[in-house]
A = this chain, B = another copy of it.
Amino acid sequence: MMTTVNEKKSAPTIRAVAVEAGVSVATVSAVINQTRFVSAETARRVNEAVQRSGYRPNRLARGLSTRQTKTIGIVMPTVLSPIAPLLLKSAADVLHEHGFAVLFSNTEMQVTWEEQAIELMFDSQVDGLLVVPAGETLDSLKLFADAGKPVVLLLHGLKGANGCDVIRSGNFKGSLDAVNHLVAQGAQRIAVLALPLVSESEKDRMDGFRTGILAGGRTLEPELIRVGAPSESGDSEQHGYQETLKLMNLQNPPDAIFAMNQYMAIGALSALKELNRRIPTDVALVGYDDLIWTKNLEPPMSVVAQQVEQIGRMGAMRLIGRLSNSDSCGAGETVTVDTRLIIRASSCRSQGAND
Protein backbone atom coordinates (compact mmCIF):
# COMPACT_ATOMS: atom_id res chain seq x y z
CA MET A 1 0.00 0.00 0.00
CA MET A 2 1.39 3.37 -0.93
CA THR A 3 -0.76 5.48 1.28
CA THR A 4 0.31 9.07 1.33
CA VAL A 5 1.84 9.70 4.70
CA ASN A 6 -0.49 11.92 6.70
CA GLU A 7 1.85 12.90 9.44
CA LYS A 8 -0.19 13.73 12.51
CA LYS A 9 -2.73 16.27 11.28
CA SER A 10 -5.46 17.72 9.04
CA ALA A 11 -7.83 15.28 7.40
CA PRO A 12 -8.04 15.31 3.60
CA THR A 13 -10.69 17.59 2.13
CA ILE A 14 -12.80 17.21 -0.93
CA ARG A 15 -10.41 19.51 -2.69
CA ALA A 16 -7.48 17.23 -2.00
CA VAL A 17 -9.41 14.35 -3.46
CA ALA A 18 -10.27 16.41 -6.51
CA VAL A 19 -6.62 17.21 -7.12
CA GLU A 20 -5.56 13.62 -6.60
CA ALA A 21 -8.17 12.40 -9.06
CA GLY A 22 -7.47 15.19 -11.49
CA VAL A 23 -11.07 16.43 -11.50
CA SER A 24 -13.05 19.27 -9.96
CA VAL A 25 -14.65 19.29 -6.53
CA ALA A 26 -18.06 19.30 -8.17
CA THR A 27 -17.33 15.96 -9.74
CA VAL A 28 -16.10 14.46 -6.50
CA SER A 29 -19.22 15.70 -4.76
CA ALA A 30 -21.34 14.27 -7.53
CA VAL A 31 -19.73 10.87 -7.21
CA ILE A 32 -20.10 10.79 -3.46
CA ASN A 33 -23.69 11.94 -3.32
CA GLN A 34 -24.87 10.34 -6.59
CA THR A 35 -26.21 13.73 -7.43
CA ARG A 36 -25.58 13.73 -11.16
CA PHE A 37 -24.21 11.48 -13.85
CA VAL A 38 -20.50 10.91 -13.95
CA SER A 39 -18.69 8.84 -16.55
CA ALA A 40 -17.63 5.43 -15.36
CA GLU A 41 -13.97 6.16 -15.87
CA THR A 42 -14.06 9.43 -13.94
CA ALA A 43 -16.05 7.85 -11.16
CA ARG A 44 -13.48 5.12 -10.86
CA ARG A 45 -10.65 7.60 -10.56
CA VAL A 46 -12.55 9.55 -7.94
CA ASN A 47 -13.39 6.51 -5.87
CA GLU A 48 -9.81 5.44 -6.01
CA ALA A 49 -8.64 8.80 -4.80
CA VAL A 50 -11.19 8.67 -2.00
CA GLN A 51 -9.93 5.28 -0.90
CA ARG A 52 -6.30 6.20 -1.12
CA SER A 53 -6.60 9.42 0.81
CA GLY A 54 -9.04 8.03 3.34
CA TYR A 55 -11.32 10.95 2.66
CA ARG A 56 -14.48 11.32 4.77
CA PRO A 57 -17.05 14.05 4.16
CA ASN A 58 -17.27 16.60 6.95
CA ARG A 59 -20.84 16.56 8.23
CA LEU A 60 -20.53 20.02 9.67
CA ALA A 61 -19.62 21.56 6.37
CA ARG A 62 -22.26 19.52 4.62
CA GLY A 63 -24.86 20.58 7.13
CA LEU A 64 -23.91 24.19 6.80
CA SER A 65 -24.28 23.97 3.08
CA THR A 66 -27.43 21.91 2.80
CA ARG A 67 -29.15 23.29 5.89
CA GLN A 68 -29.89 19.86 7.19
CA THR A 69 -27.70 17.81 9.45
CA LYS A 70 -29.28 14.38 9.41
CA THR A 71 -29.17 14.64 13.16
CA ILE A 72 -32.05 14.60 15.58
CA GLY A 73 -32.15 15.37 19.27
CA ILE A 74 -33.56 13.17 22.00
CA VAL A 75 -34.32 14.82 25.32
CA MET A 76 -35.58 12.95 28.36
CA PRO A 77 -35.95 13.84 32.03
CA THR A 78 -34.02 10.85 33.24
CA VAL A 79 -32.57 7.77 31.65
CA LEU A 80 -32.76 5.97 34.99
CA SER A 81 -36.50 5.38 34.96
CA PRO A 82 -37.57 1.82 34.27
CA ILE A 83 -38.86 2.59 30.81
CA ALA A 84 -36.43 5.25 29.60
CA PRO A 85 -33.69 2.95 28.30
CA LEU A 86 -36.07 1.00 26.10
CA LEU A 87 -37.62 4.20 24.83
CA LEU A 88 -34.20 5.58 23.98
CA LYS A 89 -33.05 2.37 22.35
CA SER A 90 -36.10 1.86 20.20
CA ALA A 91 -36.15 5.44 18.97
CA ALA A 92 -32.40 5.56 18.40
CA ASP A 93 -32.43 2.28 16.50
CA VAL A 94 -35.00 3.54 14.04
CA LEU A 95 -33.14 6.80 13.58
CA HIS A 96 -29.81 5.08 13.04
CA GLU A 97 -31.34 2.77 10.50
CA HIS A 98 -32.41 5.84 8.55
CA GLY A 99 -28.96 7.37 8.70
CA PHE A 100 -29.61 9.92 11.41
CA ALA A 101 -27.20 10.72 14.19
CA VAL A 102 -28.66 11.22 17.66
CA LEU A 103 -27.87 14.08 19.96
CA PHE A 104 -28.83 12.99 23.44
CA SER A 105 -29.62 14.86 26.60
CA ASN A 106 -30.66 13.60 29.96
CA THR A 107 -32.02 16.60 31.85
CA GLU A 108 -32.28 14.98 35.24
CA MET A 109 -35.62 16.57 35.96
CA GLN A 110 -34.08 20.04 36.11
CA VAL A 111 -36.45 22.25 34.17
CA THR A 112 -33.70 24.79 33.52
CA TRP A 113 -31.50 22.15 32.03
CA GLU A 114 -34.33 20.92 29.92
CA GLU A 115 -34.71 24.33 28.29
CA GLN A 116 -30.97 24.69 27.86
CA ALA A 117 -30.63 21.22 26.40
CA ILE A 118 -33.25 21.99 23.80
CA GLU A 119 -31.59 25.29 22.96
CA LEU A 120 -28.29 23.49 22.61
CA MET A 121 -29.84 21.10 20.17
CA PHE A 122 -31.39 23.93 18.22
CA ASP A 123 -28.02 25.63 18.02
CA SER A 124 -26.59 22.35 16.81
CA GLN A 125 -29.03 22.56 13.94
CA VAL A 126 -30.72 19.24 14.55
CA ASP A 127 -33.38 18.50 11.98
CA GLY A 128 -35.97 17.55 14.55
CA LEU A 129 -36.60 16.73 18.16
CA LEU A 130 -37.92 13.85 20.23
CA VAL A 131 -38.84 14.99 23.71
CA VAL A 132 -40.15 13.33 26.83
CA PRO A 133 -41.38 16.45 28.63
CA ALA A 134 -40.69 16.76 32.34
CA GLY A 135 -43.19 19.52 33.04
CA GLU A 136 -46.29 21.15 31.65
CA THR A 137 -44.64 23.70 29.45
CA LEU A 138 -41.48 24.16 27.44
CA ASP A 139 -40.69 27.61 26.06
CA SER A 140 -37.65 26.61 24.05
CA LEU A 141 -39.78 24.52 21.74
CA LYS A 142 -40.87 27.81 20.21
CA LEU A 143 -37.49 27.95 18.52
CA PHE A 144 -38.34 24.81 16.61
CA ALA A 145 -41.84 25.96 15.83
CA ASP A 146 -40.53 29.23 14.39
CA ALA A 147 -37.93 27.40 12.35
CA GLY A 148 -40.54 25.03 11.03
CA LYS A 149 -38.70 22.07 12.48
CA PRO A 150 -40.74 19.09 13.65
CA VAL A 151 -40.97 18.07 17.30
CA VAL A 152 -42.53 14.86 18.57
CA LEU A 153 -43.53 14.60 22.21
CA LEU A 154 -43.31 11.21 23.88
CA LEU A 155 -45.52 9.98 26.73
CA HIS A 156 -46.87 13.36 27.82
CA GLY A 157 -48.45 16.25 26.02
CA LEU A 158 -47.57 19.84 26.70
CA LYS A 159 -49.57 22.99 27.27
CA GLY A 160 -49.64 25.22 24.24
CA ALA A 161 -47.39 23.09 22.07
CA ASN A 162 -50.00 22.65 19.40
CA GLY A 163 -47.70 22.08 16.46
CA CYS A 164 -46.17 18.97 17.97
CA ASP A 165 -47.17 15.39 17.41
CA VAL A 166 -47.68 13.42 20.59
CA ILE A 167 -47.22 9.69 21.06
CA ARG A 168 -48.74 8.81 24.37
CA SER A 169 -49.59 5.76 26.39
CA GLY A 170 -53.18 4.78 27.07
CA ASN A 171 -52.83 5.26 30.78
CA PHE A 172 -56.51 5.81 31.43
CA LYS A 173 -57.49 2.58 29.79
CA GLY A 174 -54.52 0.86 31.36
CA SER A 175 -55.72 1.59 34.86
CA LEU A 176 -59.26 0.84 33.86
CA ASP A 177 -58.27 -2.59 32.59
CA ALA A 178 -56.42 -3.32 35.80
CA VAL A 179 -59.38 -2.40 37.96
CA ASN A 180 -61.82 -4.28 35.78
CA HIS A 181 -59.64 -7.33 36.10
CA LEU A 182 -59.50 -7.04 39.87
CA VAL A 183 -63.25 -6.58 40.02
CA ALA A 184 -63.72 -9.62 37.84
CA GLN A 185 -61.56 -11.57 40.27
CA GLY A 186 -63.99 -10.65 42.99
CA ALA A 187 -62.04 -7.91 44.74
CA GLN A 188 -64.32 -5.82 46.93
CA ARG A 189 -62.05 -3.19 48.39
CA ILE A 190 -59.45 -2.05 45.88
CA ALA A 191 -56.74 0.29 47.12
CA VAL A 192 -54.39 2.35 44.97
CA LEU A 193 -50.85 3.57 45.59
CA ALA A 194 -49.58 6.52 43.62
CA LEU A 195 -46.87 9.13 43.50
CA PRO A 196 -47.97 12.75 43.47
CA LEU A 197 -50.14 13.32 40.41
CA VAL A 198 -47.87 15.82 38.72
CA SER A 199 -47.79 14.55 35.18
CA GLU A 200 -50.59 14.02 32.76
CA SER A 201 -49.83 10.30 32.74
CA GLU A 202 -50.29 9.97 36.46
CA LYS A 203 -53.53 11.90 36.40
CA ASP A 204 -54.80 9.71 33.59
CA ARG A 205 -53.96 6.60 35.52
CA MET A 206 -55.84 7.85 38.54
CA ASP A 207 -58.82 8.83 36.44
CA GLY A 208 -58.88 5.37 34.96
CA PHE A 209 -58.80 3.90 38.42
CA ARG A 210 -61.72 6.02 39.59
CA THR A 211 -63.75 5.23 36.52
CA GLY A 212 -63.09 1.53 36.90
CA ILE A 213 -64.07 1.52 40.55
CA LEU A 214 -67.41 3.16 39.86
CA ALA A 215 -68.06 1.12 36.73
CA GLY A 216 -67.44 -2.02 38.77
CA GLY A 217 -70.07 -1.09 41.28
CA ARG A 218 -67.54 -0.34 44.04
CA THR A 219 -67.29 2.93 45.90
CA LEU A 220 -64.43 5.41 45.99
CA GLU A 221 -63.18 5.34 49.55
CA PRO A 222 -60.65 8.03 50.43
CA GLU A 223 -58.88 5.78 52.91
CA LEU A 224 -58.03 3.39 50.07
CA ILE A 225 -56.56 6.06 47.82
CA ARG A 226 -53.01 6.80 48.86
CA VAL A 227 -51.28 9.48 46.86
CA GLY A 228 -47.77 10.51 47.85
CA ALA A 229 -47.57 14.05 49.15
CA PRO A 230 -45.51 16.20 46.76
CA SER A 231 -43.27 17.24 49.64
CA GLU A 232 -41.85 13.85 50.46
CA SER A 233 -39.79 13.44 47.33
CA GLY A 234 -37.45 11.18 49.24
CA ASP A 235 -37.50 7.45 48.89
CA SER A 236 -40.53 6.51 46.83
CA GLU A 237 -40.29 2.84 47.68
CA GLN A 238 -40.28 3.74 51.34
CA HIS A 239 -43.47 5.66 50.78
CA GLY A 240 -45.13 2.70 49.13
CA TYR A 241 -44.01 0.54 52.01
CA GLN A 242 -45.40 2.87 54.69
CA GLU A 243 -48.71 3.40 52.97
CA THR A 244 -49.19 -0.31 52.50
CA LEU A 245 -48.60 -0.89 56.19
CA LYS A 246 -51.23 1.70 56.98
CA LEU A 247 -53.63 0.20 54.49
CA MET A 248 -53.36 -3.28 55.89
CA ASN A 249 -53.81 -2.01 59.41
CA LEU A 250 -57.12 -0.39 58.60
CA GLN A 251 -60.13 -1.76 60.43
CA ASN A 252 -61.37 -2.83 57.06
CA PRO A 253 -58.25 -3.48 54.95
CA PRO A 254 -58.26 -3.76 51.15
CA ASP A 255 -58.37 -7.13 49.42
CA ALA A 256 -56.57 -5.78 46.37
CA ILE A 257 -53.88 -3.20 45.70
CA PHE A 258 -53.14 -1.42 42.47
CA ALA A 259 -49.61 0.00 42.53
CA MET A 260 -49.42 2.69 39.88
CA ASN A 261 -45.66 2.52 39.40
CA GLN A 262 -42.71 0.28 40.13
CA TYR A 263 -41.72 2.04 43.33
CA MET A 264 -45.13 1.61 44.90
CA ALA A 265 -45.08 -2.02 43.83
CA ILE A 266 -41.74 -2.71 45.44
CA GLY A 267 -42.77 -0.93 48.62
CA ALA A 268 -46.03 -2.85 48.75
CA LEU A 269 -44.26 -6.16 48.27
CA SER A 270 -41.92 -5.47 51.19
CA ALA A 271 -44.76 -4.47 53.47
CA LEU A 272 -46.94 -7.43 52.60
CA LYS A 273 -44.06 -9.81 53.14
CA GLU A 274 -43.32 -8.26 56.50
CA LEU A 275 -46.95 -8.57 57.52
CA ASN A 276 -47.05 -12.15 56.29
CA ARG A 277 -49.96 -11.40 54.02
CA ARG A 278 -50.20 -13.89 51.18
CA ILE A 279 -50.55 -12.79 47.57
CA PRO A 280 -53.12 -13.13 46.09
CA THR A 281 -54.97 -15.05 48.80
CA ASP A 282 -55.07 -12.23 51.34
CA VAL A 283 -54.61 -9.40 48.93
CA ALA A 284 -54.34 -9.28 45.15
CA LEU A 285 -51.71 -7.08 43.54
CA VAL A 286 -51.32 -5.41 40.17
CA GLY A 287 -48.33 -3.22 39.28
CA TYR A 288 -47.39 -0.89 36.43
CA ASP A 289 -44.67 -1.46 33.81
CA ASP A 290 -43.35 -4.88 32.95
CA LEU A 291 -39.84 -4.91 34.33
CA ILE A 292 -37.41 -7.76 34.22
CA TRP A 293 -37.99 -8.87 37.78
CA THR A 294 -41.79 -8.77 37.88
CA LYS A 295 -42.25 -12.20 36.41
CA ASN A 296 -39.63 -13.72 38.67
CA LEU A 297 -41.37 -12.78 41.86
CA GLU A 298 -43.15 -15.33 43.97
CA PRO A 299 -45.89 -15.16 42.91
CA PRO A 300 -45.25 -13.55 39.51
CA MET A 301 -46.80 -10.08 39.45
CA SER A 302 -49.57 -8.93 37.17
CA VAL A 303 -48.83 -5.59 35.55
CA VAL A 304 -50.14 -2.96 33.22
CA ALA A 305 -47.39 -2.93 30.60
CA GLN A 306 -46.75 0.17 28.57
CA GLN A 307 -45.73 -0.53 24.97
CA VAL A 308 -42.64 1.53 25.41
CA GLU A 309 -40.76 0.05 22.51
CA GLN A 310 -43.59 0.80 20.14
CA ILE A 311 -43.90 4.34 21.42
CA GLY A 312 -40.22 4.99 20.78
CA ARG A 313 -40.38 3.53 17.31
CA MET A 314 -43.52 5.39 16.38
CA GLY A 315 -42.09 8.66 17.62
CA ALA A 316 -38.99 8.24 15.53
CA MET A 317 -40.95 7.20 12.45
CA ARG A 318 -43.30 10.08 12.83
CA LEU A 319 -40.39 12.48 12.98
CA ILE A 320 -38.79 10.95 9.92
CA GLY A 321 -42.10 11.17 8.12
CA ARG A 322 -42.44 14.87 8.88
CA LEU A 323 -38.92 15.39 7.67
CA SER A 324 -39.13 13.57 4.36
CA ASN A 325 -42.62 14.53 3.28
CA SER A 326 -41.99 17.98 4.62
CA ASP A 327 -45.62 17.90 5.62
CA SER A 328 -44.79 19.85 8.74
CA CYS A 329 -47.83 21.87 7.80
CA GLY A 330 -50.69 19.94 9.36
CA ALA A 331 -51.13 20.61 13.05
CA GLY A 332 -49.77 17.99 15.39
CA GLU A 333 -51.62 14.75 15.83
CA THR A 334 -51.89 12.74 19.02
CA VAL A 335 -51.50 8.99 18.86
CA THR A 336 -52.40 6.83 21.82
CA VAL A 337 -50.69 3.47 22.19
CA ASP A 338 -52.70 1.07 24.28
CA THR A 339 -51.21 -0.65 27.29
CA ARG A 340 -51.34 -4.41 27.69
CA LEU A 341 -52.62 -5.99 30.86
CA ILE A 342 -50.36 -8.91 31.71
CA ILE A 343 -52.17 -11.23 34.05
CA ARG A 344 -50.02 -13.34 36.34
CA ALA A 345 -50.61 -15.14 39.61
CA SER A 346 -50.48 -12.13 41.90
CA SER A 347 -53.99 -11.06 41.00
CA CYS A 348 -55.81 -14.32 40.38
CA ARG A 349 -58.15 -15.54 43.06
CA SER A 350 -58.74 -18.95 41.56
CA GLN A 351 -55.76 -20.97 40.34
CA GLY A 352 -52.62 -20.00 38.42
CA ALA A 353 -52.42 -17.61 35.52
CA ASN A 354 -51.03 -17.17 32.06
CA ASP A 355 -47.50 -16.14 31.13
Contacts and interface: CB of A to CB of B under 8 A. Distances in A.
Nearest to A292: B266
A146 B105 contact: no
Contact of A266 (B8, B71, B293): B293
Contact of A57 (B64, B123, B298): B123
Contacts of A113: 96
Nearest to A82: B292
Interface stretch (A34-42, A83-91, A191-199): A83-91
A60 B101 CA distance: 14
A188 B48 CA distance: 66
Nearest to A64: B60
Interface size grouping (class) on chain A: 35 or more
Contacts of A237: 296
A89 B107 CA distance: 9
B96 A89 contact: no
A61 to B, nearest CB: 6
B102 A101 contact: no
Interface in A91-134: 92-93, 96, 101-106, 108, 113, 117, 119-125
Interface string A42-84: 0000000000000011111101100001010010001110001
Contact of A56 (B92, B96, B117, B122): B122
A129 to B, nearest CB: 13
A352 interface: no
A6 interface: yes
A201 interface: no
Nearest to A108: B93
Contact of A79 (B56, B88, B103, B125): B88
B123 A56 contact: yes
Contacts of A159: none
B11 A147 contact: yes
Nearest to A91: B106
A257 to B, nearest CB: 16
A320 interface: no
A122 B63 CA distance: 15
B101 A96 contact: no
A148 interface: yes
A80 B87 CA distance: 10
29 contacts: A6-B146, A11-B147, A56-B122, A57-B123, A59-B123, A59-B125, A60-B63, A60-B69, A71-B103, A74-B104, A79-B92, A80-B85, A80-B89, A88-B104, A88-B106, A89-B106, A89-B108, A93-B106, A93-B108, A96-B105, A96-B113, A101-B103, A101-B105, A101-B120, A102-B103, A102-B105, A104-B104, A270-B296, A273-B298
The 5 A-B residue pairs whose C-beta atoms are closest, nearest first, are A104-B104, A293-B293, A59-B123, A79-B85, A59-B124
